Amino acid sequence: MKPLLALLLVLAVSTVHAQKFELRTARFSIGDNPAYSQLNYDDSKWSEIKTNVNWEEQGYPQYDGYGWYRFHIVMPTTIQNGNPIRFLLGKADDACEVFFNGVLIGKSGSFPTDKDGYKTTWDKLLEFRIDPTSKYIKWNEVNLISVRVYDGGGNGGLFEEYPYISSLEKIDAITLDPVTAADGKHSFQVKNTLNTPVEGTYSITCTDEDDLSVISKTDNNISLGINESKAIAVPLPKNKTHISYTCTFTESSTKKSLTAHLVLPYILTPKPGPEPKINGAAVSGVRINSPFLYKIPATGKKPLRYSAENLPAGFKVNPLNGVITGQLAQAGEYKITLVVKNSLGTVKKPFSIQCGNVLALTPPMGWNSWNCWGLSVSDEKLKASAKAMMDKGLIDHGWAYMNIDDGWEDEQRKANGEIAANKKFPDMKKLGDWLHSNGLKFGIYSSPGPRTCGGYLGSYQHEMQDASTYASWGIDYLKYDWCSYDQIHTKGDETLESYKKPYEVMRDALVQQKRDIVFSLCQYGMKDVWEWGETVNGNCWRTTGDITDTWKSLTSIGFNQTKQYPFAKPGRWNDPDMMIVGQVGWGEHLHNTRLTPDEQYTHVSLWSLLSAPLLIGCDLSKLDDFTLNLLTNDDVIAVNQDVLGKQAKQVRVTSTYQVWIKDLADGSKAVGIFNLGDNSDVIRFYWSELNVSKTQQVRDLWRQQDLGAFTNMFATRVPAHGVTLIKITAK
């Protein structure tokens, strides 16, 4: 049977039972032509494509550019219920336009030819509505929905959900979202997006997340006018910190309901004490004759005075901000002692400078602009986050890199081929000098292809020139993103060498620079990059596609980092992508991460156990107390920065929980007990199940509390989607 006939038949039969029609396949062609939106265009020679999987996996490997999907659908009159007709498209990687019988009905993102240029909305679930009274609908006849998709790099096309057509029920038109205002107050926002008013009720249940007891429950009526949105405030119970709210809205005529959940941020870690304390890694790598720069991270009552013992000749410490600078002419290990003083005392910590060929001896820690600012990053925005890094004290816990991601490059190279920054970055060298004078490091982004993923200039055929420009600006870190290298890479060439090549070219350019530039490979894990990243001198390599701020994205990336485990070591790190805490947004409009507080504890714990580079992806100038606390727990950071450089191993997986263990340099182990279930639960296990000896001294790392010795068994209550992170030492 011809596929088109099969599709029409299924729709006709389904009308009897349900008012929702899935569109699992479509007619598909790459290329771009306005005629493709028209009903009378003959697409009989087009191929058939699944609509929930990117086109790369369906015969269009590495294709970037335009593609069209055409759905031929019979519109049965039985779908009418007086409300608009809903076309749930799923996700479109990266931007799309939707036409109904040739008429544009909606758009998401924007195309390179649009006024403001290309903008991706790849991670947005897209819904379009069709007015049932529209003269364009041909009832009980074949209609056409055509979707024009533009892929700006990486995967392309429709993916994740099967599109469907359905009649819109009132409840589908209601949105219910937890909201945290700038002043920290919480509420639920309920909105009616329908063209008629809606009546309903809502209930709010407040629950103690530690023992799951209900603290309060209220029920109320609510009416919502056309497009009206109302804020439902939540009552704050006294003396409770770990609480949640469940809000359920029930639509009166259908009794169908919608539920949203909100767990209030709760702080686990005590504030640093007034006594001086030195934090951060115990080691730093540098190459021969490269400038060395390291800021001693320390907390304690200000003012602090910094010094160091046994410094190599020519090294200096700035006593006021703890920035150590110098240069080494000979390879080897230089053992020094860091010293920090304040009015309450003096503290010392051994520190090793390792001069050789390997950088990033512990995972890089810092900030990257992408997850908050996307392509709108600027000098000003970066400086605002850098200032917050210092003023809020993150720098005192070892956070150091300030990395500009995509969007800094000028439209054209200079006449001599040199890359230049665009207007948003008036003086890169000055910016680098300013960061360095404060003990921060400076990172940048490019692609081995002619264009970056955001459509900016890449380094193709200018690698050496770009590496030396970066060095002249004082760059310390380069993220090198495959993107349009697809166009250079010979189609069908699946040899490992062809995937390594662009990274070898940049490696050779970086190694010739007179400063150290950490090399971060970004090619989403192709060809199991963790197995060969070291051979191109990569210091870290992305193991996955892009992360986003949802539990689904976090877990599908984080808990799948298992086969990479043997490849992490000092200077070589698996990178499951940047952090999704705080205010994120990938553009101008930032929002608070959609992860719950417990999911964020899981995120930071897992990334620390995985020895992942820790790159904060939020606007630090808007850092709230919860996120600051999450990012400044020295016990947790110490797990990430441990000098042994092992990655945690997944040792236990049940249907609801997982345990991951990381060996530490002092012989102890960090253990993450993760509750992946939707309910708070007591998790218990025998030490023997983790293959460790029978009595263990346990420290709760988030609370920074010693819990004592446990023989045979350990038990802990773990919140839904949360974690208990402990350090165990055999007794």
Site for ligand GLA in 427-446 (CB under 6 A): 445
Stretch that binds ligand GLA, among 327-335, 448-456, 501-509, 531-539 (CB under 6 A): 448-456
Nearest to 700 by CA among 680, 658, 721, 671: 671
Beta carbons within 8 Å of 230's beta carbon, 6+ residues apart: 189, 190, 191, 222, 224
From candidates 453, 510, 521, 557, binder to ligand GLA by CB under 6 A = 453
360: left (phi over 0), alpha (psi -120 to 50) or beta: left
Distance CA 263, CA 245 (A): 6
User: In angstroms, what CA-CA distances link 16 with 21, 78, 81, 144, 630?
Assistant: 11, 9, 15, 21, 53
3-state secondary structure at position 8: helix
Stretch that binds ligand GLA, among 219-227, 232-240, 447-455, 503-511 (CB under 6 A): 447-455
Closest separation in Å from C-beta 314 to ligand GLA: 37
Query: Please, which residue, 539 or 632, has the CB nearer to ligand GLA?
Result: 539
Closest separation in Å from C-beta 406 to ligand GLA: 3
Closest separation in Å from C-beta 153 to ligand GLA: 7
Radius of gyration of the chain (CA): 28
* Binding map of ligand GLA across residues 471-490, x = CB under 6 A, - = no contact: ----------x---------
151 is catalytic: no
Q: Compute how many other C-beta atoms are within 10 angstroms of the C-beta atom of residue 173.
A: 21
Count of positions on this chain that bind ligand GLA (CB under 6 A): 11
| Assigned token pair, 542 | 């992305």
Site for ligand GLA in 146-175 (CB under 6 A): 154
Please identify which of the residues 172, 476, 481, 516 carries the catalytic annotation: 481
Q: Is 245 in the site for ligand GLA (CB under 6 A)?
A: no
* Binding map of ligand GLA across residues 518-537, x = CB under 6 A, - = no contact: ----x---------------
Distance CA 397, CA 306 (A): 15
Instruction: Show the CA angle centred on residue 396, arms to residues 395 and 397, nearest 5°.
Output: 90
Closest separation in Å from C-beta 170 to ligand GLA: 38
Stretch that binds ligand GLA, among 410-418, 426-434, 450-458, 567-575 (CB under 6 A): 450-458
Closest separation in Å from C-beta 528 to ligand GLA: 17
From candidates 452, 459, 602, 696, binder to ligand GLA by CB under 6 A = 452
Distance CA 378, CA 458 (A): 18
From candidates 406, 409, 463, 476, binder to ligand GLA by CB under 6 A = 406
Please identify which of the residues 94, 546, 635, 642 carries the catalytic annotation: 546
Query: Please, which residue, 454 or 645, has the CB nearer to ligand GLA?
Result: 454
Distance CA 258, CA 266 (A): 26
Closest separation in Å from C-beta 382 to ligand GLA: 15
Looking at 12-77, which runs of residues are DSSP E strands? 20-22, 25-30, 47-50, 65-74
From candidates 69, 150, 370, 470, binder to ligand GLA by CB under 6 A = 370
Beta carbons within 8 Å of 135's beta carbon, 6+ residues apart: none
Q: Which long-range contacts (CB under 8 A, 24 or more apart) does 664-670 make?
A: 664/639, 664/727, 667/729, 667/730, 668/727, 668/728, 668/729, 668/730, 669/727, 669/728, 669/729, 670/608, 670/609, 670/639, 670/642, 670/701, 670/725, 670/726, 670/727
Query: Please, which residue, 445 or 473, has the CB nearer to ligand GLA?
Result: 445
Q: Write out the DSSP string of 176-205.
A: EEEEE-TTS-EEEEEEE-SSS-EEEEEEEE
From candidates 22, 405, 463, 516, binder to ligand GLA by CB under 6 A = 405
Query: Please, which residue, 242 or 451, has the CB nearer to ligand GLA?
Result: 451
* Binding map of ligand GLA across residues 197-226, x = CB under 6 A, - = no contact: ------------------------------
From candidates 448, 454, 533, 672, binder to ligand GLA by CB under 6 A = 454
Closest separation in Å from C-beta 579 to ligand GLA: 12
Find the distance separating the first CA and the last CA of the chain, reported in whole Å: 71
Distance CA 156, CA 61 (A): 10
Nearest to 176 by CA among 202, 215, 196, 208: 202
Query: Please, which residue, 542 or 727, has the CB nearer to ligand GLA?
Result: 542
Kind plus residue range of the DSSP H or E element containing 287: none
Closest separation in Å from C-beta 168 to ligand GLA: 33
Query: Please, which residue, 151 or 546, has the CB nearer to ligand GLA?
Result: 546
Query: Please, which residue, 178 or 407, has the CB nearer to ligand GLA?
Result: 407
> Do 401 and 445 form a contact (C-beta atoms < 8 A)?
no
481 is catalytic: yes
User: In angstroms, what CA-CA distances link 1 with 6, 23, 43, 70, 148?
Assistant: 7, 17, 17, 19, 27
Only one residue has tokens 């001599």, namely 416
Distance CA 382, CA 363 (A): 21
Closest separation in Å from C-beta 374 to ligand GLA: 8
Closest separation in Å from C-beta 722 to ligand GLA: 27
Binding site for ligand GLA (CB under 6 A): 154, 370, 405-406, 445, 452-454, 481, 522, 546
Q: What is the set of active-site residues?
A: 481, 546
